[in-house]
Amino acid sequence: MSITTGDFRQRVTVQTLAEKKHNHDPIVCLTAYDYSAARLADEAGVDLVLVGDSLAQVVLGYDSTLPVTMEEMLHHTRATRRGINRAFLVADMPFGSYHTGERQALENAVRFVKEAGAEAVKIEGGVTRAALVRRIIEAEIPVVGHIGLTPQSVNKMGGYKVQGKTTAAMDQLLRDAAAMDEAGVSALVLEGIPRELAARITAEVSTPTIGIGAGPECDGQILVFHDLVGLTFNAPPKFVRRYAAAGEAITAAIHAYGEDVRERSFPSDAESYHVPRETAAKAVAAVAGKK
């Protein structure tokens, strides 16, 4: 079925994000990694869905985002795409997919759009990534920037630490934000930085800012789906607000199911299929005759 003009106008685009910043209309963002989560987020009115490389930790069980591959990211982006009708879909460029050269980065960015249906890609880094970001945008692929606590730099940073706590570090993040803004990113994720610095960046750049652990003054906010609904196994970071205890509810449901199976109360007669009595009687007689 073709998309009507009216339906198209309702879809979130890069222009929608820019308008929301101009109108001071908060942008609601959330990660998703599969059809079900994407559909739930989309139907709940989320503006931007990110297939984050946090997939590595919350879905695949890795200790960091570093091991996740292009093929894994493409697979989950395709699944997420199928659940979205309205939200703007962004895919994370995983570690190693844009670090060894412009040609590699362009080829991988194109794959996300062409093979997986992403509408933009996200790249970590500031000043040092500006030229690469411009080149990808020149190839007609929108880019979302990401500065501050950049998980792909965990080894360089010595862990997941709040960034921008010194004057020099704040100045560098201001330069990074300006470089991404001038490069033409469609949005800029600010992660793990002081609220005051995020507020200043938001006021100074023309692109919408999306905060995660960066305070309420950003143009939008994003959380990891599993953190939001309580599906993670570790204590959440300070900036996470849990809106559900899905993990506890699921564990309780599985426990109850196990008890019912052990007690032979599941499945019940009402949950079983039947054949006509005459057919059943013949089957019983046939079995009895073989004994």
| Amino acid (1-letter code) at residue 277 | R
Res 290: pLDDT: 67
Predicted local distance difference test score (pLDDT) of residue 279? 82
Task: For residues 25-38, give the mean pLDDT.
Answer: 98
Q: Following DSSP, what letter does each residue of 168-220 receive, concatenated?
A: HHHHHHHHHHHHHHHHT-SEEEEES--HHHHHHHHHH-SSPEEEESS-TTSSE
Task: Please determine, for residue 5, whether its predicted confidence score (pLDDT) is greater than 70.
Answer: no
> What's the pLDDT at 3?
36
Name the pLDDT band for 26 (thresholds 50, 70, 90).
very high
pTM of the model: 0.92
Q: Give the angle 250-251-252 at the CA atoms, nearest 5°.
A: 90
DSSP letter, residue 151? G
The Cα 203–Cα 206 span in angstroms is: 8
Q: What pLDDT is stored for residue 285 in this prediction?
A: 75
User: How do residues 128-151 score in pLDDT, each as one tens digit?
Assistant: 999 999 999 999 999 999 999 999
Active site residue 259: no
* φ, ψ dihedrals at 178, nearest 5°: -65, -40
Rounded to an integer, the average pLDDT of 267-287 is: 83
Tokens 């690469």 locate to: 132
| CA pair distance 48, 34, nearest whole angstrom | 15
Distances, alpha carbon 15 to alpha carbons 21, 144, 151, 187, in Å: 10, 13, 28, 11
- pLDDT above 90 for 6: no
208-242 per-position pLDDT tens digit: 999 999 999 999 999 999 999 999 998 889 999 99
- Residues 258 and 246: their CA atoms lie apart, in Å, by 18
CATH architecture of the domain 5-244 equals Alpha-Beta Barrel (3.20)
Could you state, in order of their start, the residue ranges of all structural domains in the chain?
Answer: 5-244, 259-290
The whole-angstrom separation of Cα 221 and Cα 48 is 10
pLDDT digits (tens, 9 = 90+) for 161-184: 999 999 999 999 999 999 999 999
Q: Is the pLDDT score of 250 beyond 90?
A: yes
How many Cβ atoms sit within 10 Å of the Cβ of residue 208?
28
Distance between CA 187 and CA 76 in Å, rounded? 22
Residue-averaged pLDDT of the chain: 94
Q: At what angle do helices 70-81 and 35-43 cross, to 10 degrees?
A: 50
Residue tagged active-site, from 138, 191, 217, 259: 191
pLDDT band at 7 (very low <50, low <70, confident <90, very high): very low
With cut-offs at 50, 70 and 90, classify the pLDDT of residue 15.
very high
- Mean pLDDT calculated for residue range 38-67: 97
